[in-house]
Amino acid sequence: MNKFTLGPKKLEAVDFSVYYSEFQALRQVSIEIPARNVTALIGPSGCGKSTFLRSINRMNDLVAGVRTEGELFLDGTEIFDEKVDPVALRKRVGMVFQKPNPFPMSVYENVAYGPRIHGLKSRRRLGEIVERSLAQAALWDEVKDRLHQSALRLSGGQQQRLCIARLLAVEPEILLMDEPCSALDPISTGKIEELVLDLAHDYTIIIVTHNMQQAARVSQVLGFFLLGRLVEYGLTEQVMTNPIQRETEDYLTGRFG
């Protein structure tokens, strides 16, 4: 792997493997994710990058037959330790999916949902959180006069930014993004990319993408997965322009994938 330093690490995997029953989806992945940067994961379909993403907030716990080996640390604490509460973990590690999934309720209620679940009842405080979160997601100016309209009436790009605002409302530390622009038009994609770069000042972001140009635009660090292995990992510019592994070069130049 490429050696580099981008400040303190937020997440670390050590020989981390994931099995779906007998199928091994991840093979002894070792990686250090730096805090308050954007790390992009690329690779062909089925290579394990989304499995790795879903392991970080233990979403794979919900899949029958899943088991893990090795270790996965968040701020030095093993994520799969029996003392770790998955619900508390998912408050710290939020996830944005390929297709926007707003709740069938108003824009306001979508954003207020998380704080309410965690016990916040003050209407004034909820209002402040809704405004702050929508502003952070670059959506406030577009929806401030439609807060009590159904979120399902928003455009696809607006819905995706609303889902990001919904995560920000519970003040996570890590944002996981699983191909967040795959269902969006180019203009909406550009807004999401600008948002990712802005949020990286305050959050650790890990984004899975099939779009190598997008990875180059938004990330500082890049990992290439193939057949469940982390083949190469380093500074994005270095991996993109001067990959160490032949498999990485073949993928980047379109010889496969």
The domains found in the chain, sorted by start residue, are 9-103+173-252 (3.40.50.300)
Average pLDDT over the chain, rounded to whole? 94
Q: Region 62-87: what's the mean pLDDT?
A: 94
Confidence class for position 257, pLDDT limits 50, 70, 90: low
Instruction: Give the tens place of pLDDT for each residue, 109-147.
Output: 999 999 999 899 999 999 999 999 999 999 999 999 999
Question: Which residue in 182, 169, 173 sits closest to 107, CA to CA?
Answer: 169
Query: Which pLDDT score is estimated for 7?
Result: 74
Predicted confidence (pLDDT) at residue 241 exceeds the cutoff of 80: yes
Give the containing element (helix H, strand E) for 69.
strand 66-74
The two beta strands, 66-74 and 9-20, are antiparallel
Rounded CA-CA distance 245/256 in Å is 14
* Residue 1 reports pLDDT greater than 60: no
pLDDT of residue 134: 97
254: confidence class by pLDDT, cuts 50, 70, 90:
confident
**In degrees rounded to 5, what are phi and psi of residue 224?**
-110, 120
For residues 235-245, give the mean pLDDT: 96
Which pLDDT belongs to residue 3?
57
236: pLDDT strictly greater than 60:
yes
Residue 220 phi/psi, 5-degree rounding, is -100, -25
- Model confidence at 28, pLDDT cuts 50, 70, 90, reads very high
Other C-beta atoms closer than 10 Å to the C-beta of 242 total 11
Q: What is the pLDDT of residues 181-230, one digit of tens each?
A: 998 999 999 999 999 999 999 999 999 999 999 999 999 999 999 999 99
